[in-house]
Structure 1
Amino acid sequence: MDQIEILNLVPKFLSFFHLAKKPDIDEEGRWALWKEHYNFAAVPPGEDGKKMARNLLDTAWNHYADHLTFIEKWEPNEAVVREYLTRVKALLGYDHPIDLVVVYFVGGFENNPFVAPYDQNRMALCLPIENGDSNIHLAHELTHIVHSQTANLKGEWERTIGSTILQEGLATQVSKCLVPGHPDELYLEHKKGWLQSCKENRANIISQICPFLDHDSSEAVTRFTFGNGTTNHEREAYYVGWELVHFLLNEGVTFKEMASVKEKDIPDYLRDVLPNLLK
Protein backbone atom coordinates (compact mmCIF):
# COMPACT_ATOMS: atom_id res chain seq x y z
CA MET A 1 0.00 0.00 0.00
CA ASP A 2 1.20 3.51 -0.78
CA GLN A 3 2.55 5.44 2.21
CA ILE A 4 1.60 9.11 2.30
CA GLU A 5 2.87 11.47 4.98
CA ILE A 6 1.23 14.90 5.18
CA LEU A 7 3.41 17.87 6.14
CA ASN A 8 1.29 21.00 6.52
CA LEU A 9 3.35 24.22 6.49
CA VAL A 10 0.31 26.49 6.47
CA PRO A 11 0.39 27.06 10.27
CA LYS A 12 4.07 28.11 9.97
CA PHE A 13 3.11 30.62 7.28
CA LEU A 14 0.31 32.01 9.44
CA SER A 15 2.69 32.44 12.38
CA PHE A 16 5.07 34.38 10.10
CA PHE A 17 2.24 36.45 8.63
CA HIS A 18 0.89 37.60 11.97
CA LEU A 19 4.39 38.58 13.13
CA ALA A 20 5.20 40.40 9.89
CA LYS A 21 1.96 42.41 9.62
CA LYS A 22 2.72 44.46 12.72
CA PRO A 23 2.93 48.17 11.80
CA ASP A 24 6.55 48.58 12.92
CA ILE A 25 7.83 45.89 10.52
CA ASP A 26 9.35 47.20 7.27
CA GLU A 27 10.16 45.17 4.13
CA GLU A 28 13.60 44.16 5.38
CA GLY A 29 12.16 43.09 8.71
CA ARG A 30 9.46 41.13 6.93
CA TRP A 31 12.05 39.32 4.83
CA ALA A 32 14.08 38.49 7.93
CA LEU A 33 10.97 37.11 9.65
CA TRP A 34 10.11 35.07 6.55
CA LYS A 35 13.55 33.45 6.54
CA GLU A 36 13.41 32.78 10.29
CA HIS A 37 9.84 31.52 10.65
CA TYR A 38 8.82 30.15 7.23
CA ASN A 39 11.57 29.98 4.58
CA PHE A 40 9.71 27.93 1.99
CA ALA A 41 9.07 28.89 -1.65
CA ALA A 42 8.79 27.31 -5.08
CA VAL A 43 12.16 28.52 -6.32
CA PRO A 44 15.42 26.91 -7.48
CA PRO A 45 18.24 26.44 -4.99
CA GLY A 46 21.01 28.99 -4.55
CA GLU A 47 21.25 32.78 -4.56
CA ASP A 48 19.00 33.20 -7.59
CA GLY A 49 16.32 31.25 -5.74
CA LYS A 50 16.62 33.52 -2.71
CA LYS A 51 16.16 36.59 -4.90
CA MET A 52 13.11 35.01 -6.50
CA ALA A 53 11.67 34.13 -3.09
CA ARG A 54 12.13 37.71 -1.90
CA ASN A 55 10.42 39.04 -5.02
CA LEU A 56 7.54 36.59 -4.62
CA LEU A 57 7.04 37.69 -1.03
CA ASP A 58 7.15 41.40 -1.83
CA THR A 59 4.75 40.99 -4.76
CA ALA A 60 2.27 38.80 -2.89
CA TRP A 61 2.33 40.51 0.49
CA ASN A 62 -0.57 42.91 -0.04
CA HIS A 63 -2.78 40.09 -1.33
CA TYR A 64 -2.48 37.74 1.63
CA ALA A 65 -4.92 39.67 3.83
CA ASP A 66 -7.71 39.21 1.27
CA HIS A 67 -7.18 35.44 1.32
CA LEU A 68 -6.49 35.05 5.02
CA THR A 69 -9.87 33.57 5.96
CA PHE A 70 -9.53 30.89 3.29
CA ILE A 71 -5.94 30.09 4.30
CA GLU A 72 -6.90 29.81 7.97
CA LYS A 73 -9.81 27.45 7.25
CA TRP A 74 -8.03 25.27 4.67
CA GLU A 75 -7.47 21.59 5.58
CA PRO A 76 -5.42 18.86 3.82
CA ASN A 77 -7.26 16.13 1.87
CA GLU A 78 -5.29 12.88 1.87
CA ALA A 79 -8.11 10.90 0.21
CA VAL A 80 -7.92 12.86 -3.05
CA VAL A 81 -4.13 12.45 -3.11
CA ARG A 82 -4.54 8.67 -2.83
CA GLU A 83 -7.20 8.65 -5.55
CA TYR A 84 -5.06 10.49 -8.08
CA LEU A 85 -1.90 8.59 -7.16
CA THR A 86 -3.71 5.33 -7.96
CA ARG A 87 -4.89 6.71 -11.30
CA VAL A 88 -1.46 8.05 -12.29
CA LYS A 89 0.21 4.74 -11.40
CA ALA A 90 -2.27 2.86 -13.59
CA LEU A 91 -1.65 5.22 -16.52
CA LEU A 92 2.15 4.96 -16.24
CA GLY A 93 2.09 1.22 -15.59
CA TYR A 94 3.63 1.22 -12.12
CA ASP A 95 2.28 -1.27 -9.58
CA HIS A 96 4.71 -1.04 -6.64
CA PRO A 97 3.97 0.87 -3.42
CA ILE A 98 5.09 4.50 -3.34
CA ASP A 99 6.27 6.26 -0.20
CA LEU A 100 5.96 10.05 -0.44
CA VAL A 101 5.55 13.20 1.58
CA VAL A 102 2.91 15.76 0.60
CA VAL A 103 3.97 19.24 1.66
CA TYR A 104 1.24 21.86 1.69
CA PHE A 105 2.48 25.46 1.72
CA VAL A 106 1.41 29.04 1.06
CA GLY A 107 3.13 30.43 -2.02
CA GLY A 108 2.96 33.79 -3.73
CA PHE A 109 -0.18 33.21 -5.86
CA GLU A 110 2.07 32.09 -8.73
CA ASN A 111 0.55 28.58 -9.01
CA ASN A 112 3.87 26.74 -8.92
CA PRO A 113 3.64 23.31 -7.27
CA PHE A 114 6.78 21.20 -7.50
CA VAL A 115 8.46 17.91 -6.61
CA ALA A 116 11.81 17.64 -4.82
CA PRO A 117 13.84 15.05 -2.87
CA TYR A 118 12.73 14.91 0.78
CA ASP A 119 15.02 12.34 2.36
CA GLN A 120 17.12 9.40 1.23
CA ASN A 121 14.13 7.31 0.15
CA ARG A 122 11.24 9.69 -0.46
CA MET A 123 10.16 12.47 -2.77
CA ALA A 124 8.17 15.48 -1.59
CA LEU A 125 5.10 16.63 -3.49
CA CYS A 126 4.82 20.35 -2.67
CA LEU A 127 1.42 21.95 -3.26
CA PRO A 128 0.56 25.65 -2.76
CA ILE A 129 -2.90 26.23 -1.28
CA GLU A 130 -3.47 30.00 -1.44
CA ASN A 131 -5.37 29.80 -4.75
CA GLY A 132 -7.43 26.78 -3.71
CA ASP A 133 -6.84 23.10 -4.34
CA SER A 134 -6.30 22.02 -7.96
CA ASN A 135 -6.70 18.45 -9.17
CA ILE A 136 -4.82 19.46 -12.33
CA HIS A 137 -1.77 20.44 -10.25
CA LEU A 138 -2.16 17.33 -8.12
CA ALA A 139 -2.22 14.99 -11.14
CA HIS A 140 0.71 16.88 -12.70
CA GLU A 141 2.97 16.59 -9.66
CA LEU A 142 1.99 12.99 -8.88
CA THR A 143 3.05 12.15 -12.43
CA HIS A 144 6.53 13.44 -11.54
CA ILE A 145 6.53 11.22 -8.44
CA VAL A 146 5.55 8.06 -10.35
CA HIS A 147 7.76 8.92 -13.35
CA SER A 148 10.74 9.15 -11.00
CA GLN A 149 10.20 5.45 -10.26
CA THR A 150 9.51 4.22 -13.79
CA ALA A 151 12.49 6.04 -15.35
CA ASN A 152 14.98 5.94 -12.44
CA LEU A 153 14.97 9.73 -12.25
CA LYS A 154 17.31 11.32 -9.73
CA GLY A 155 14.58 13.78 -8.82
CA GLU A 156 17.08 16.59 -8.36
CA TRP A 157 16.98 20.15 -9.68
CA GLU A 158 20.04 19.55 -11.88
CA ARG A 159 19.02 17.18 -14.69
CA THR A 160 19.38 17.26 -18.46
CA ILE A 161 17.17 19.56 -20.49
CA GLY A 162 16.02 16.44 -22.35
CA SER A 163 14.86 14.87 -19.09
CA THR A 164 13.19 18.15 -18.06
CA ILE A 165 11.27 18.28 -21.35
CA LEU A 166 9.95 14.73 -21.11
CA GLN A 167 9.12 15.06 -17.40
CA GLU A 168 7.07 18.21 -17.93
CA GLY A 169 5.48 16.93 -21.13
CA LEU A 170 4.26 13.78 -19.40
CA ALA A 171 3.01 15.70 -16.37
CA THR A 172 1.05 18.28 -18.40
CA GLN A 173 -0.51 15.72 -20.73
CA VAL A 174 -1.32 13.21 -17.96
CA SER A 175 -3.09 15.97 -16.05
CA LYS A 176 -5.12 16.71 -19.17
CA CYS A 177 -5.97 13.00 -19.49
CA LEU A 178 -7.04 12.61 -15.85
CA VAL A 179 -8.76 15.99 -15.41
CA PRO A 180 -10.23 16.51 -18.90
CA GLY A 181 -12.46 19.16 -20.35
CA HIS A 182 -10.52 22.35 -19.70
CA PRO A 183 -8.75 24.69 -22.14
CA ASP A 184 -5.15 23.70 -22.84
CA GLU A 185 -3.97 26.87 -21.13
CA LEU A 186 -5.13 25.53 -17.76
CA TYR A 187 -2.77 22.55 -17.95
CA LEU A 188 0.46 24.43 -18.57
CA GLU A 189 0.06 28.19 -18.78
CA HIS A 190 1.53 30.36 -16.04
CA LYS A 191 0.54 33.72 -17.52
CA LYS A 192 -2.17 34.74 -19.94
CA GLY A 193 -1.12 34.71 -23.60
CA TRP A 194 1.98 32.57 -23.04
CA LEU A 195 0.71 29.45 -24.83
CA GLN A 196 -0.47 31.36 -27.88
CA SER A 197 2.88 33.14 -28.12
CA CYS A 198 4.69 29.79 -27.90
CA LYS A 199 2.49 28.39 -30.67
CA GLU A 200 3.37 31.33 -32.88
CA ASN A 201 7.08 30.60 -32.31
CA ARG A 202 6.73 26.79 -32.25
CA ALA A 203 9.36 25.88 -34.85
CA ASN A 204 12.03 28.15 -33.37
CA ILE A 205 11.39 27.02 -29.79
CA ILE A 206 11.62 23.33 -30.71
CA SER A 207 14.60 23.58 -33.07
CA GLN A 208 16.64 25.89 -30.83
CA ILE A 209 16.24 23.77 -27.69
CA CYS A 210 17.64 20.66 -29.43
CA PRO A 211 21.35 21.56 -28.97
CA PHE A 212 20.78 21.78 -25.21
CA LEU A 213 19.29 18.32 -24.61
CA ASP A 214 22.41 17.06 -22.79
CA HIS A 215 22.97 20.24 -20.77
CA ASP A 216 22.37 19.59 -17.07
CA SER A 217 23.65 22.58 -15.09
CA SER A 218 21.45 24.52 -12.70
CA GLU A 219 21.82 27.53 -15.02
CA ALA A 220 20.55 25.55 -18.01
CA VAL A 221 17.56 24.14 -16.14
CA THR A 222 16.69 27.60 -14.82
CA ARG A 223 17.01 29.08 -18.31
CA PHE A 224 14.44 26.69 -19.83
CA THR A 225 12.02 26.66 -16.90
CA PHE A 226 11.98 29.99 -15.06
CA GLY A 227 14.18 31.86 -17.54
CA ASN A 228 13.70 33.06 -21.10
CA GLY A 229 15.08 30.12 -23.08
CA THR A 230 16.41 30.83 -26.56
CA THR A 231 13.39 32.73 -27.93
CA ASN A 232 12.60 35.00 -24.97
CA HIS A 233 9.84 32.70 -23.71
CA GLU A 234 9.72 31.47 -20.14
CA ARG A 235 9.20 27.75 -19.54
CA GLU A 236 10.21 26.63 -23.02
CA ALA A 237 10.87 23.12 -21.68
CA TYR A 238 7.21 22.88 -20.63
CA TYR A 239 5.97 23.92 -24.05
CA VAL A 240 8.30 21.56 -25.94
CA GLY A 241 7.33 18.74 -23.58
CA TRP A 242 3.64 19.42 -24.16
CA GLU A 243 4.12 19.31 -27.94
CA LEU A 244 6.40 16.25 -27.76
CA VAL A 245 4.04 14.08 -25.72
CA HIS A 246 1.04 15.21 -27.78
CA PHE A 247 2.90 14.12 -30.92
CA LEU A 248 3.89 10.76 -29.43
CA LEU A 249 0.35 10.04 -28.26
CA ASN A 250 -0.92 10.69 -31.78
CA GLU A 251 1.75 8.28 -33.05
CA GLY A 252 0.32 5.57 -30.80
CA VAL A 253 3.00 5.69 -28.09
CA THR A 254 1.46 5.15 -24.65
CA PHE A 255 2.14 7.09 -21.47
CA LYS A 256 3.56 3.85 -20.03
CA GLU A 257 6.03 3.50 -22.91
CA MET A 258 7.20 7.11 -22.58
CA ALA A 259 7.52 6.83 -18.82
CA SER A 260 9.67 3.71 -19.16
CA VAL A 261 12.53 5.50 -20.98
CA LYS A 262 15.36 5.62 -18.43
CA GLU A 263 16.76 9.02 -17.54
CA LYS A 264 20.19 8.35 -19.05
CA ASP A 265 18.53 7.51 -22.40
CA ILE A 266 16.09 10.44 -22.56
CA PRO A 267 18.28 12.97 -24.45
CA ASP A 268 18.95 10.46 -27.25
CA TYR A 269 15.27 9.49 -27.30
CA LEU A 270 14.30 13.13 -27.79
CA ARG A 271 17.01 13.68 -30.40
CA ASP A 272 15.31 11.01 -32.51
CA VAL A 273 11.78 12.33 -31.99
CA LEU A 274 11.92 16.13 -31.89
CA PRO A 275 12.89 16.64 -35.57
CA ASN A 276 9.67 14.84 -36.52
CA LEU A 277 7.66 17.58 -34.82
CA LEU A 278 9.00 20.06 -37.36
CA LYS A 279 8.07 18.14 -40.49
Structure 2
Amino acid sequence: MPELFDLTPRFQTFYALAQGEPPDERWVLWQEHYNFAAVPPVPAGQALARKLLDEAWARYVGLPANLSLEVSRLESQANLAAAQVEVLFQAPVPAYRLVTYVGGFEANAFVAGTSLCMPVEMSAEWAAPVLTHELTHLVHHQLSGSDGSWTRSLAALVVQEGLATRATQILHPEASLSDHIGDANWLRACDAQREMLGQDALPRLGQSDDGTLLRFIQPHPNCGLDRTAYALGWWLTGEWLSQGRTLAELARVPEANLPMLVASRLPA
Protein backbone atom coordinates (compact mmCIF):
# COMPACT_ATOMS: atom_id res chain seq x y z
CA MET A 1 0.00 0.00 0.00
CA PRO A 2 1.40 3.42 -0.91
CA GLU A 3 1.42 6.33 1.48
CA LEU A 4 -1.51 8.59 0.55
CA PHE A 5 -1.15 12.36 0.27
CA ASP A 6 -4.51 13.80 -0.74
CA LEU A 7 -4.49 17.36 -2.06
CA THR A 8 -8.17 17.50 -2.94
CA PRO A 9 -9.19 19.24 0.33
CA ARG A 10 -6.77 22.05 -0.54
CA PHE A 11 -8.35 22.36 -3.95
CA GLN A 12 -11.84 22.47 -2.47
CA THR A 13 -10.78 25.28 -0.12
CA PHE A 14 -9.40 27.26 -3.05
CA TYR A 15 -12.46 26.55 -5.19
CA ALA A 16 -14.89 27.76 -2.51
CA LEU A 17 -12.92 30.98 -1.98
CA ALA A 18 -12.57 31.68 -5.70
CA GLN A 19 -16.28 31.65 -6.51
CA GLY A 20 -17.27 34.91 -8.20
CA GLU A 21 -13.71 36.24 -8.28
CA PRO A 22 -12.13 37.64 -11.48
CA PRO A 23 -9.40 35.52 -13.14
CA ASP A 24 -6.47 37.46 -11.70
CA GLU A 25 -7.75 37.22 -8.13
CA ARG A 26 -8.65 33.58 -8.71
CA TRP A 27 -5.03 32.94 -9.70
CA VAL A 28 -3.77 34.62 -6.52
CA LEU A 29 -6.07 32.40 -4.45
CA TRP A 30 -4.89 29.33 -6.35
CA GLN A 31 -1.27 30.15 -5.55
CA GLU A 32 -2.08 30.80 -1.88
CA HIS A 33 -4.32 27.83 -1.14
CA TYR A 34 -3.55 25.12 -3.72
CA ASN A 35 -0.49 25.74 -5.94
CA PHE A 36 -0.27 22.29 -7.50
CA ALA A 37 -0.30 21.43 -11.20
CA ALA A 38 1.19 18.90 -13.60
CA VAL A 39 3.74 21.25 -15.12
CA PRO A 40 7.51 20.95 -15.59
CA PRO A 41 9.66 22.50 -12.83
CA VAL A 42 10.99 25.18 -15.17
CA PRO A 43 10.49 28.97 -15.19
CA ALA A 44 7.62 28.71 -17.68
CA GLY A 45 5.80 26.23 -15.43
CA GLN A 46 3.75 28.82 -13.56
CA ALA A 47 2.48 30.38 -16.78
CA LEU A 48 1.37 26.94 -17.92
CA ALA A 49 -0.34 26.32 -14.57
CA ARG A 50 -2.25 29.59 -14.96
CA LYS A 51 -3.32 28.55 -18.46
CA LEU A 52 -4.54 25.16 -17.20
CA LEU A 53 -6.53 26.82 -14.41
CA ASP A 54 -8.20 29.34 -16.72
CA GLU A 55 -9.12 26.69 -19.28
CA ALA A 56 -10.45 24.22 -16.68
CA TRP A 57 -12.32 26.66 -14.45
CA ALA A 58 -15.74 26.27 -16.11
CA ARG A 59 -15.45 22.46 -15.93
CA TYR A 60 -14.80 22.24 -12.20
CA VAL A 61 -18.50 22.64 -11.46
CA GLY A 62 -18.98 19.13 -12.85
CA LEU A 63 -16.63 17.45 -10.38
CA PRO A 64 -18.19 14.93 -7.97
CA ALA A 65 -19.23 16.49 -4.67
CA ASN A 66 -17.40 13.77 -2.73
CA LEU A 67 -13.87 13.59 -4.10
CA SER A 68 -12.85 11.15 -1.38
CA LEU A 69 -14.62 8.41 -3.33
CA GLU A 70 -12.41 9.13 -6.34
CA VAL A 71 -9.34 9.07 -4.10
CA SER A 72 -10.30 5.64 -2.73
CA ARG A 73 -10.92 4.37 -6.23
CA LEU A 74 -7.45 5.47 -7.35
CA GLU A 75 -5.88 3.79 -4.32
CA SER A 76 -7.52 0.49 -5.24
CA GLN A 77 -6.52 0.81 -8.89
CA ALA A 78 -2.93 1.61 -7.91
CA ASN A 79 -2.67 -1.55 -5.80
CA LEU A 80 -3.95 -3.71 -8.66
CA ALA A 81 -1.62 -2.08 -11.16
CA ALA A 82 1.37 -2.51 -8.85
CA ALA A 83 0.83 -6.26 -8.63
CA GLN A 84 0.82 -6.56 -12.43
CA VAL A 85 3.89 -4.34 -12.90
CA GLU A 86 5.84 -6.37 -10.35
CA VAL A 87 5.25 -9.56 -12.34
CA LEU A 88 6.19 -7.91 -15.63
CA PHE A 89 9.46 -6.47 -14.34
CA GLN A 90 10.26 -9.26 -11.88
CA ALA A 91 10.87 -6.64 -9.20
CA PRO A 92 8.85 -5.05 -6.39
CA VAL A 93 7.37 -1.61 -6.74
CA PRO A 94 9.42 0.55 -4.38
CA ALA A 95 7.78 2.40 -1.50
CA TYR A 96 6.08 5.48 -2.89
CA ARG A 97 3.60 8.22 -2.09
CA LEU A 98 0.34 8.40 -4.03
CA VAL A 99 -0.54 12.07 -4.45
CA THR A 100 -4.16 12.64 -5.45
CA TYR A 101 -5.08 16.05 -6.79
CA VAL A 102 -7.49 17.97 -8.99
CA GLY A 103 -5.85 18.75 -12.29
CA GLY A 104 -6.92 20.71 -15.34
CA PHE A 105 -8.73 17.86 -17.13
CA GLU A 106 -5.58 17.35 -19.21
CA ALA A 107 -5.17 13.79 -17.85
CA ASN A 108 -1.51 14.35 -17.07
CA ALA A 109 -0.35 12.05 -14.29
CA PHE A 110 3.35 12.10 -13.44
CA VAL A 111 6.10 10.79 -11.18
CA ALA A 112 8.39 13.12 -9.22
CA GLY A 113 11.02 11.38 -7.11
CA THR A 114 9.12 8.73 -5.17
CA SER A 115 5.71 10.39 -5.58
CA LEU A 116 3.13 9.23 -8.10
CA CYS A 117 0.69 12.07 -8.79
CA MET A 118 -2.77 11.20 -10.14
CA PRO A 119 -5.61 13.61 -11.01
CA VAL A 120 -8.92 12.51 -9.49
CA GLU A 121 -10.93 13.68 -12.52
CA MET A 122 -9.36 10.91 -14.62
CA SER A 123 -11.86 8.15 -15.38
CA ALA A 124 -11.35 4.64 -14.04
CA GLU A 125 -10.91 3.28 -17.58
CA TRP A 126 -8.18 5.77 -18.39
CA ALA A 127 -6.55 5.59 -14.95
CA ALA A 128 -5.81 1.86 -15.26
CA PRO A 129 -3.18 2.11 -18.05
CA VAL A 130 -1.94 5.46 -16.73
CA LEU A 131 -1.17 3.94 -13.33
CA THR A 132 0.68 1.11 -15.08
CA HIS A 133 2.69 3.71 -16.99
CA GLU A 134 3.63 5.71 -13.90
CA LEU A 135 4.38 2.67 -11.72
CA THR A 136 6.69 1.44 -14.47
CA HIS A 137 8.64 4.67 -14.04
CA LEU A 138 9.04 4.00 -10.31
CA VAL A 139 10.28 0.45 -10.86
CA HIS A 140 12.55 1.54 -13.71
CA HIS A 141 14.07 4.32 -11.62
CA GLN A 142 14.94 1.85 -8.89
CA LEU A 143 16.38 -0.77 -11.23
CA SER A 144 18.43 1.68 -13.32
CA GLY A 145 19.78 3.72 -10.42
CA SER A 146 17.83 6.88 -11.30
CA ASP A 147 16.74 9.35 -8.64
CA GLY A 148 13.53 9.99 -10.54
CA SER A 149 14.08 13.72 -10.83
CA TRP A 150 13.21 16.01 -13.73
CA THR A 151 16.92 16.38 -14.53
CA ARG A 152 18.10 13.37 -16.52
CA SER A 153 19.67 12.79 -19.90
CA LEU A 154 17.60 12.89 -23.06
CA ALA A 155 18.42 9.20 -23.53
CA ALA A 156 17.00 8.42 -20.08
CA LEU A 157 13.81 10.33 -20.92
CA VAL A 158 13.42 8.38 -24.17
CA VAL A 159 13.98 4.97 -22.55
CA GLN A 160 11.81 5.77 -19.53
CA GLU A 161 8.87 6.65 -21.76
CA GLY A 162 9.54 3.76 -24.10
CA LEU A 163 9.40 1.20 -21.32
CA ALA A 164 6.32 2.78 -19.75
CA THR A 165 4.34 2.98 -23.00
CA ARG A 166 5.18 -0.61 -23.95
CA ALA A 167 4.33 -1.83 -20.44
CA THR A 168 0.80 -0.48 -20.81
CA GLN A 169 0.54 -2.12 -24.23
CA ILE A 170 1.47 -5.50 -22.72
CA LEU A 171 -0.63 -5.26 -19.56
CA HIS A 172 -3.64 -3.52 -21.11
CA PRO A 173 -4.07 -5.04 -24.58
CA GLU A 174 -7.74 -4.02 -24.53
CA ALA A 175 -6.85 -0.32 -24.36
CA SER A 176 -6.59 1.88 -27.43
CA LEU A 177 -3.36 3.15 -28.95
CA SER A 178 -4.09 6.58 -27.49
CA ASP A 179 -4.04 5.09 -23.99
CA HIS A 180 -0.59 3.62 -24.63
CA ILE A 181 1.25 6.34 -26.50
CA GLY A 182 -0.99 8.98 -28.08
CA ASP A 183 -3.37 9.80 -30.90
CA ALA A 184 -2.83 7.69 -34.02
CA ASN A 185 -2.65 10.77 -36.27
CA TRP A 186 0.00 12.29 -34.01
CA LEU A 187 2.04 9.07 -34.09
CA ARG A 188 1.81 8.90 -37.90
CA ALA A 189 2.96 12.51 -38.12
CA CYS A 190 5.89 11.68 -35.86
CA ASP A 191 6.71 8.63 -37.96
CA ALA A 192 6.99 10.85 -41.03
CA GLN A 193 9.67 12.79 -39.13
CA ARG A 194 11.33 9.74 -37.61
CA GLU A 195 14.70 10.04 -39.34
CA MET A 196 14.93 13.76 -38.60
CA LEU A 197 14.03 13.23 -34.95
CA GLY A 198 16.60 10.47 -34.55
CA GLN A 199 19.33 12.56 -36.14
CA ASP A 200 18.38 15.57 -34.05
CA ALA A 201 18.41 13.54 -30.84
CA LEU A 202 21.66 11.68 -31.50
CA PRO A 203 24.16 14.42 -30.52
CA ARG A 204 21.99 15.42 -27.55
CA LEU A 205 21.46 12.02 -25.91
CA GLY A 206 23.79 12.72 -22.98
CA GLN A 207 22.50 16.25 -22.37
CA SER A 208 20.20 16.95 -19.41
CA ASP A 209 19.50 20.69 -19.55
CA ASP A 210 15.93 22.01 -19.59
CA GLY A 211 16.24 23.19 -23.19
CA THR A 212 17.16 19.73 -24.46
CA LEU A 213 14.42 17.94 -22.52
CA LEU A 214 11.74 20.46 -23.48
CA ARG A 215 12.85 20.26 -27.13
CA PHE A 216 11.52 16.68 -27.17
CA ILE A 217 8.50 17.25 -24.88
CA GLN A 218 7.08 20.54 -26.12
CA PRO A 219 6.50 21.21 -29.84
CA HIS A 220 9.75 20.37 -31.62
CA PRO A 221 11.23 23.41 -33.40
CA ASN A 222 11.81 21.46 -36.62
CA CYS A 223 8.34 19.99 -37.06
CA GLY A 224 5.97 21.42 -34.43
CA LEU A 225 5.11 18.02 -32.96
CA ASP A 226 5.08 17.64 -29.18
CA ARG A 227 6.08 14.62 -27.02
CA THR A 228 8.55 13.39 -29.62
CA ALA A 229 10.63 11.73 -26.87
CA TYR A 230 7.65 9.44 -26.28
CA ALA A 231 7.51 8.52 -29.97
CA LEU A 232 11.26 7.80 -30.03
CA GLY A 233 10.93 5.63 -26.92
CA TRP A 234 7.93 3.77 -28.35
CA TRP A 235 9.79 2.92 -31.57
CA LEU A 236 13.09 1.98 -29.97
CA THR A 237 11.56 -0.19 -27.25
CA GLY A 238 9.39 -1.88 -29.85
CA GLU A 239 12.53 -2.74 -31.84
CA TRP A 240 14.27 -4.14 -28.77
CA LEU A 241 11.25 -6.28 -27.90
CA SER A 242 11.09 -7.60 -31.46
CA GLN A 243 14.72 -8.69 -31.08
CA GLY A 244 13.81 -10.81 -28.07
CA ARG A 245 14.84 -8.45 -25.30
CA THR A 246 12.44 -7.94 -22.40
CA LEU A 247 11.25 -4.92 -20.46
CA ALA A 248 12.69 -6.47 -17.30
CA GLU A 249 16.12 -6.70 -18.96
CA LEU A 250 16.00 -3.20 -20.43
CA ALA A 251 14.90 -1.70 -17.11
CA ARG A 252 18.12 -2.94 -15.50
CA VAL A 253 20.45 -1.07 -17.85
CA PRO A 254 22.20 1.54 -15.64
CA GLU A 255 21.01 5.06 -16.36
CA ALA A 256 24.57 6.18 -17.16
CA ASN A 257 24.66 3.64 -20.02
CA LEU A 258 21.42 4.75 -21.67
CA PRO A 259 22.98 7.28 -24.10
CA MET A 260 25.10 4.49 -25.58
CA LEU A 261 22.12 2.11 -25.69
CA VAL A 262 19.91 4.61 -27.53
CA ALA A 263 22.69 5.77 -29.86
CA SER A 264 23.11 2.19 -31.11
CA ARG A 265 19.60 2.33 -32.61
CA LEU A 266 19.45 5.88 -34.00
CA PRO A 267 20.45 6.88 -37.57
CA ALA A 268 23.88 8.42 -37.83
Is TM-score (shorter-chain normalized) higher than 0.5?
yes
Equivalence for 2:50: 54
Query: In the alignment, which of 161, 164, 167 is matched to residue 160 of structure 2?
Result: 167
Matched, 1:232 2:224: yes
Give 1:75 shift. Answer: 3.2
The 8 Å contact of residues 153 and 206 in structure 2, kept in 1 or not, is answered as yes
Aligned counterpart, 1:18? 16
Counterpart of 2:178 (choices 160, 169, 185) is: 185
- Aligned: 1:150 with 2:143: yes
Matched, 1:98 2:94: yes
Residue range with higher mean Cα deviation, 83-92 or 166-175: 83-92
Q: Partner residue of 2:128?
A: 135
Bigger shift: residues 131-140 or 141-150? 131-140
Contact 1:41–1:107 (Cα < 8 Å) also in 2: yes
Query: Judging changes above 3 Å, is the alpha-carbon distance between structure 1 residues 184 and 229 closer, same or farther for their aligned structure 2 residues?
Result: farther
Structure 2 portions without partners, runs of 5+: none
TM-score (norm: length of structure 2): 0.92
- What are the equivalent positions in structure 2 for 1:236-247 lying under 5 Å apart? 236-247=228-239
Match of residue 193 from structure 2:
201
Whether the aligned pair in 1 keeps the contact of 2:6 and 2:99 (CA below 8 Å) is: yes
Residues in 2 aligned to 1:199 and 1:27: alpha-carbon distance in whole angstroms: 40
Report the aligned-residue RMSD: 1.9
Whole-angstrom distance in 1 between the partners of 2:69 and 2:88 = 34
Cα-to-partner distance string for 1:205-229 (whole Å, 9 max, x where unaligned): 2232222111101222122113425
Residue 202 (structure 2) pairs with residue 210 (structure 1): yes
Q: CA contact under 8 A between 1:208 and 1:230: conserved in structure 2? A: no
Per-residue CA deviations over 1:80-125 (Å, capped at 9, x if unaligned) read 3222112212212214x621000011111111110002xxxxx000
Structure 2 match to 1:120:
none
User: How far is the alpha carbon of 1:72 from its aligned partner?
Assistant: 6.7
- Residue 262 of structure 2 is matched in structure 1 by 270
The alpha-carbon distance between structure 1 residues 207 and 106, as it changes in their structure 2 partners (threshold 3 A), is: same
Instruction: Give structure 1 stretches of 5+ with no counterpart.
Output: 118-122
CA distance in 2, matches of 1:107, 1:27: 17
Q: Secondary structure at the match of 1:247?
A: helix
TM-score, normalised via structure 1 length: 0.89
Match of 2:84 in 1: 87
Residue identity over aligned pairs, in percent, reads 34
1:124 is the counterpart of 2:115: yes
| Partner deviation per Cα, 1:22-73 (whole Å, 9 max, x = no partner) | x2x1111100110111111011113211111011111111111123447475
* CA–CA separation in structure 2 for the residues paired with 1:17 and 1:193: 36
Q: Is the 8 A contact 2:71 2:100 kept in 1?
A: no
Contact kept in structure 2, 1:8 and 1:76, CA below 8 Å: no
Equivalent residue for 2:253?
Answer: 261
Q: Is the 1:100–1:125 Cα contact (8 Å) retained in structure 2?
A: yes
* Shift, 1:154, TM fit: 1.9
Counterpart code for 2:178: E
State the one-letter code of the partner of 1:38: Y
Contact 2:130–2:179 (Cα < 8 Å) also in 1: no
How many Å separate the matches in 2 of 1:249 and 1:192?
21
Match of residue 23 from structure 2: 27
Structure 2 residue 96 is the aligned partner of structure 1 residue 108: no
Q: 1:213 to 1:48 in 2, by over 3 A?
A: same
